[in-house]
Amino acid sequence: MKELIEFVARSLVDDPTQVQVNQSRDVGKVHLELRVAKEDMGRVIGKNGRVANALRILLRVAAAREGKQVSLDVIEPR
Amino acid sequence: MSEERTTLEIIAPTVEEAVAKGLADLGLPSEAVEVEVLDSGSRGLFGLGSRQARIRLTVKNQAELQSIAVGGENTHERSEASREENIPSAALEAVHAEEPEVPEGEDTSLRVARETVAELLEKMKVHAQVTSKYVQPEDPKDQASILIEVHGDDLSILIGRRSETLNALQYISSLIIGKELEKWVPLIIDVEGYRARRERQLRQLARRMAEQAVSTGRRQVLEPMPPSERRVIHLELRNHPQVFTESVGEEPNRKVTIVIKK
């Protein structure tokens, strides 16, 4: 799941070196946090969150394979 | 594998009752049948002019039943879609055995498109074969689209409810491919011929509902559909002499309505 987000984020941003994905696991749940350069936020979120929502849908497929639930947050850089 | 499928049409006051009655008649669980709503019925105003619901149940074959046992979710919502989805297992095995072919001198766009989708699928832990080709647009002035075809076992998970997953995959893929090629290319992803089948069904549905609008004199409201599917309905009825179509409501619950021309 982490690899999926890393792949998509690195493919969409202008600065792939700033792409970072943290994964934390709970019982039956996986939580992913995506960080990208400030200038690239729009590319991974999209208009009305369209990109981020499509990513969540794709993540659900990967998660279902492992019988897990998954959540994705895009974290605002400081 | 026989193409003959047991089907049953039921009429009852509501869709739910019709489904329950049909399942009881067949003695099957809801997972074992496809439900197609032929007429969702109408309560009418204060019981006046009410119309009964009409549904068709189709008993699924073994292969589909097995895929349900694995896939589990969204069998009900996709009932209409998966009705024709029984691919002979021999054909599937043939696809499975083939190594992905890389045509010589393949166009860069086709290669990038194919590799992008293949990589996404791999990272989604979906095992499938991916091919790409150009399709000529209906209007010769338009740009040719790239069609990515995905084949494999048990790919219903890739389509999702109201083709939500397939559309998400198509959207993300086209963004990545557009960025990689530094130009936007129209991209269509299809899974086991799903989109083509779905389009046929939607055209049929459009004509049937138009007939119904004409015969009842009432506006017909279809199920919520994604934009690409609503477009098929609009196009199919564009030149209909007696009805016109419009979409109402907000995404993702926007629906096509078929209205009698004045």
Q: Please give the Cα distance from B18 to B28 (Å, whole number).
A: 14
Q: Do the interacting molecules here have an ipTM over 0.90?
A: yes
Task: Supply the CATH number for residue A32's domain.
Answer: 3.30.300.20
Residue B61, CA distances (Å) to A46, B18, B73, B175 in order: 42, 22, 18, 38
Segment among B64-68, B87-91, B233-237 with least mean pLDDT: B87-91
User: In the structure encoding, which two tokens stand for residue B205, read together?
Assistant: 């549905």
Query: How would residue B71 be classed by pLDDT, with cut points 50, 70 and 90?
Result: very low
Total domains in chain B come to 3
- Domain with B184 in it: 108-192
Q: Please give the Cα distance from B160 to B37 (Å, whole number).
A: 19
Residue at B102 is within a domain: no
User: In the structure encoding, which two tokens stand for residue B140, read together?
Assistant: 């010769």
Q: In the predicted model, what is the mean pLDDT of chain A?
A: 94
Q: Check whether B115 has a pLDDT greater than 90.
A: yes
Nearest by Cα to B238 from B213, B214, B258, B218: B258
Q: Which of B173, B192, B211 is the last residue of a domain?
A: B192
Query: How would residue B7 be classed by pLDDT, with cut points 50, 70 and 90?
Result: low
Tens of pLDDT, residue by residue over A39-60, are 999 999 999 999 999 999 999 9
What is the number of CB-based contacts under 8 A between chain A and chain B? 54
Is residue B165 domain-shared with residue B234, that is, in the same domain?
no
Is residue B33 domain-shared with residue B113, that is, in the same domain?
no
CB atoms B157 and A62 under 8 Å: no
- Domain with A68 in it: 2-75
Q: Check whether B101 has a pLDDT greater than 90.
A: no
Q: Which of B32, B64, B96 is the last residue of a domain?
A: B96
Residue at B101 is within a domain: no
Question: Which DSSP letter does residue B1 get?
Answer: -
Is residue B80 domain-shared with residue B31, that is, in the same domain?
yes
Tens of pLDDT, residue by residue over B8-37, are 666 676 677 777 777 776 667 777 777 777
Mutate to test the interface with B, among A57, A59, A72 (most CBs of B within 10 A): A57
Residue B214, CA distances (Å) to A67, B82, B200, B207, B246 in order: 48, 29, 21, 11, 16
CA dihedral B100, B106, B109, B115 (to 10 degrees): 20
Q: Which residues of chain A have pLDDT under 70?
A: none
Is residue B17 domain-shared with residue B57, that is, in the same domain?
yes
Tens of pLDDT, residue by residue over B139-194, are 778 888 999 999 998 899 999 988 899 999 999 999 999 999 999 999 999 999 99
pLDDT in the model for residue B82? 43
CB atoms B180 and A50 under 8 Å: no
Contacts by B70-75, CB closer than 8 A, 24 or more apart: B70/B154, B71/B154, B71/B156, B71/B157, B73/A64, B74/B156, B74/B160, B74/B161, B75/B31, B75/B156
**Residue B31: helix, strand or coil by DSSP?**
helix
CB atoms A50 and B171 under 8 Å: yes
Residue at B114 is within a domain: yes
Is residue B225 domain-shared with residue B248, that is, in the same domain?
yes
Mean pLDDT for the stretch of residues B219-235 = 94
Q: Please give the Cα distance from B147 to B134 (Å, whole number).
A: 6
Total domains in chain A come to 1
